[in-house]
């Protein structure tokens, strides 16, 4: 029993030393010490001494928790090349290869043909970010490279962002636009998200699994593991949701196939070419079809270049419109003559028919007409309504409320004063907008930014309200043993970048127990 206790004590000493190494910034050596500690714990046979069972489990959990914390504390912004993704070949991957080259062969080839249009830009941005080029094939299993692909979970676009994650990484969404459908903007957002996931988990297979089902779900699965989960993604495989369990093998299978097209007798007959374009600032609200008619372009081509426009209609505020390069001269000469013939699309509320209600009573309730309700729901004289049926109602009241809301928003914007802000390492539009109580779209408009890309040292103008500034308060926090910037930021409901900015730190800066940090 003394020999067993000695192993537990030695494992605890290694944990303590790992903590010191971590505080000194030597993460690799800290992880090596924790790995050795875990090996010692695995040698402890708690069945021989049942009283040591709980002690062994406590130390095992401590080691696992510390490993997670170290991975979580790694910097989020890329400073060097990420390692390539290893293409594992096992039964799971082979099964997906068989599926993609068999029953799903047609889908796979069509996806490859669409990929030819978007991959040049994706690969270019991955190289800039230092990420593996293989990630450019991820949209194939996400969306088949379809810009308007929509999942049952409301994930949309090439990279399948749900609304909340898209907003977090700077993708705007309103009645007129949804930037999740823009291949370039969504690619930059996906790269930012993948960087964050890789630095959290430390390996690409686990990061990709998190991209599919969310980091929270993977962290929860890791917490329940009884083995050294961080050494091998496949240890997690069986405990992940079925869709995610297939997701990583499917991605690895895709990369293997595209590297061996001849082996699988795959030929591309109609690959799509990238469309060359130029962006122009448009300050009036017009329809794409009217622009296409004026400049002699195909409406479908304009829609492909501007897929984020949900209704083929430019928003009321300034918009950067993409025009085919060969039509740019024509556009510049005609844009001033294109009339704004826009009438707002119908806005609706939904009503479930109750017993005893008629079309007349419903129309009266919503201050509209029977004909308007009939047109909205394609109801003819031969149709009847019944209790339980859901009707789409054109609502004048809704329009009125919306006008009031827009007026309030305009008044708020007028009360804001512009300030200058210099971009620091780790910033993106969403982080800056959140910091100054504005929106990514508003920052882009104020600075006439053609896209969401920012550069360190870049100066941008931000309209921030005095009220928002006056509410911003700060306090101090004394660093404790085991703390890292990410944990401190989460504990105080701050973003990591905001914490670093307040304390004039960057991602490589070290913090020490006893150090005072400014928090909000």
Report the alpha-carbon distance of residue 12 to residue 10 in Å, rounded: 5
Catalytic residue among 23, 96, 142, 215: 142
Cβ atoms of 462 and 438 closer than 8 Å: yes
Report the alpha-carbon distance of residue 357 to residue 336 in Å, rounded: 50
Whole-number pLDDT of residue 232: 58
CATH number at residue 481: 3.10.350.10
Cβ atoms of 493 and 467 closer than 8 Å: no
Domain boundary among 45, 73, 101: 73
Cβ atoms of 321 and 287 closer than 8 Å: no
Tell me, yes or no, whether 265 lies in a domain.
no
**Beta-carbon neighbour count of residue 183 at 10 Å?**
20
Contacts of 16 (CB under 8 A, 6+ apart): none
97 and 184 part of one domain: yes
Residues 490, 492, 494, 499, CA torsion sign: negative
Tell me, yes or no, whether 448 lies in a domain.
yes
214 and 134 part of one domain: yes
Question: In this structure, what token pair is assigned to residue 257?
Answer: 């196939």
453 and 439 part of one domain: yes
Q: Is 494 helix (H, G, I), strand (E, B) or coil?
A: coil
Tell me, yes or no, whether 123 lies in a domain.
yes
Whole-number pLDDT of residue 229: 43
Give yes or no: 142 in active site.
Answer: yes
- The CA-based diameter of the chain, rounded to the nearest angstrom, is 91
- pTM for this model (two decimals): 0.56
Domain boundary among 471, 487, 508: 471
Tell me, yes or no, whether 165 lies in a domain.
yes
Q: Which of 96, 92, 86 is nearest to 253 (CA)?
A: 96
Cα of 502 vs its chain's centroid, Å: 25
Residues 347, 352, 353, 355, CA torsion sign: negative
Q: Which of 90, 336, 446, 340 is nearest to 233 (CA)?
A: 90
122 and 251 part of one domain: yes
Tell me, yes or no, whether 399 lies in a domain.
no
| Helices 27-42/2-23 angle, 10° precision | 170
3-state secondary structure 409-469: HHHHHHCCEEEEEECCCCCCHHHHHHHCCCCHHHHHHHHCCCCCCCCCCCEEEEEECHHHH
Report the alpha-carbon distance of residue 210 to residue 227 in Å, rounded: 19
Report the alpha-carbon distance of residue 399 to residue 352 in Å, rounded: 20
Domain boundary among 310, 337, 364: 337
252 and 139 part of one domain: yes
Tell me, yes or no, whether 409 lies in a domain.
yes
Question: In this structure, what token pair is assigned to residue 382?
Answer: 């031969």
Residues 143, 145, 150, 155, CA torsion sign: positive
248 and 113 part of one domain: yes
Query: Would you give per-residue pLDDT tens digits along the chain (520 residues)?
Result: 677 777 777 888 888 888 777 767 677 788 888 888 888 877 776 565 556 677 777 777 778 777 766 665 543 333 334 456 878 888 889 999 999 999 999 999 999 999 999 999 999 999 998 899 999 999 999 999 999 998 887 899 999 998 888 888 889 888 889 999 999 999 999 999 998 888 777 778 888 888 988 877 777 777 666 554 444 567 676 777 777 778 889 999 999 999 999 999 999 999 999 999 999 999 888 999 999 999 999 999 999 999 999 989 998 888 999 999 999 999 999 988 888 865 555 567 778 888 888 888 888 888 888 888 888 787 876 667 888 888 888 755 444 344 333 434 444 444 445 788 888 766 777 777 777 777 777 888 888 887 777 888 888 888 754 434 434 455 778 887 777 887 788 777 777 777 777 776 766 667 777 777 878 7
Residue 385: give the domain boundaries: 348-394
289 and 312 part of one domain: yes
154 and 297 part of one domain: no
Cβ atoms of 41 and 59 closer than 8 Å: yes
Contacts of 406 (CB under 8 A, 6+ apart): none
For 123, 164, 455, 474, the CA distances from 452, given in Å and listed in that order, are 17, 17, 10, 29
Question: What letter does residue 335 receive in the DSSP assignment?
Answer: G
Tell me, yes or no, whether 270 lies in a domain.
no
Tell me, yes or no, whether 461 lies in a domain.
yes
Q: Which of 495, 461, 452, 464 is nearest to 171 (CA)?
A: 452
The residues facing 392 across adjacent strands are: 350
CATH number at residue 198: 1.10.530.10
Q: Could you give the number of structural domains in the chain?
A: 6
314 and 331 part of one domain: yes
Q: Which of 302, 279, 286 is nearest to 338 (CA)?
A: 286
Whole-number pLDDT of residue 85: 80
Report the alpha-carbon distance of residue 255 to residue 301 in Å, rounded: 30
126 and 223 part of one domain: yes
119 and 222 part of one domain: yes
98 and 231 part of one domain: yes
Report the alpha-carbon distance of residue 112 to residue 408 in Å, rounded: 48
């Amino acid at each position: 029993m003394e020999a067993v206790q000695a192993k537990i004590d030695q494992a605890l000493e290694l944990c303590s030393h790992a903590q010191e190494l971590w505080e000194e910034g030597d993460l690799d050596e800290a992880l090596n010490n924790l790995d050795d500690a875990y090996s010692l714990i695995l040698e402890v046979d708690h069945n021989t001494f049942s009283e040591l069972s709980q002690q062994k489990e406590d130390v095992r959990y401590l080691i696992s928790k510390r490993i997670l914390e170290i991975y979580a504390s790694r910097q989020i912004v890329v400073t060097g090349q990420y390692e390539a993704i290893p293409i594992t070949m096992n039964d799971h991957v082979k099964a997906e290869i068989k599926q993609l080259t068999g029953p799903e062969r047609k889908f796979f080839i069509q996806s490859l043909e669409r990929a030819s249009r978007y991959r040049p830009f994706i690969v270019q941005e991955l190289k800039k970010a230092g990420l593996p080029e293989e990630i450019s094939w991820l949209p194939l299993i996400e969306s088949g490279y379809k810009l308007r692909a929509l999942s049952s979970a409301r994930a949309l676009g090439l990279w399948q962002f749900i609304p909340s994650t898209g907003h977090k990484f700077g993708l705007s969404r309103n009645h007129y636009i949804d930037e999740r459908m823009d291949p370039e903007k969504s690619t930059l957002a996906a790269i930012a998200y993948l960087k964050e996931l890789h630095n959290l988990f430390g390996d690409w297979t686990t990061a990709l699994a998190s991209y599919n089902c969310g980091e929270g779900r993977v962290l929860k699965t890791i917490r329940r593991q009884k083995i050294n989960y961080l050494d091998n993604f496949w240890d997690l495989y069986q405990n992940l949701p079925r869709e995610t369990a297939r997701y990583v093998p499917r991605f690895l299978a895709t990369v293997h196939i595209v590297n061996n097209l001849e082996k699988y007798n795959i030929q591309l007959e109609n690959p799509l070419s990238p469309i060359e374009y130029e962006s122009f600032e448009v300050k009036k609200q017009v329809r794409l079809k009217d622009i296409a008619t004026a400049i002699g372009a195909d409406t479908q081509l304009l829609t492909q270049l501007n897929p984020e426009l949900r209704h083929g209609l430019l928003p009321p505020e300034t918009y950067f419109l993409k025009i085919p390069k060969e039509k740019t001269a024509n556009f510049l000469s005609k844009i001033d003559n294109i009339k704004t013939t826009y009438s707002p699309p119908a806005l609706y509320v939904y009503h479930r028919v109750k017993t005893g209600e008629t079309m007349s009573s419903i129309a009266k309730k919503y201050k509209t007409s029977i004909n308007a309700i009939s047109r909205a729901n394609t109801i003819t004289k031969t149709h009847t309504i019944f209790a339980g049926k859901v009707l789409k109602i054109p609502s004048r009241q809704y329009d009125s409320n919306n006008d009031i809301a827009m007026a309030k928003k305009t008044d708020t914007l007028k009360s804001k004063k512009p300030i200058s802000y210099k971009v620091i390492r780790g910033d993106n539009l969403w982080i800056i907008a959140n910091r100054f109580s504005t929106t990514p779209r508003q920052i882009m408009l104020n600075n006439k930014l053609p896209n969401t890309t920012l550069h360190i040292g870049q100066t941008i103008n931000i309209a921030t309200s005095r009220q928002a500034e006056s509410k911003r308060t700060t306090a101090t926090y004394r660093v404790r043993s085991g703390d890292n910037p990410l944990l401190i930021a989460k504990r105080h409901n701050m973003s990591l970048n905001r914490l670093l900015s307040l304390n004039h730190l960057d991602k490589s800066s070290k913090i020490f127990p006893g150090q005072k940090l400014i928090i909000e």
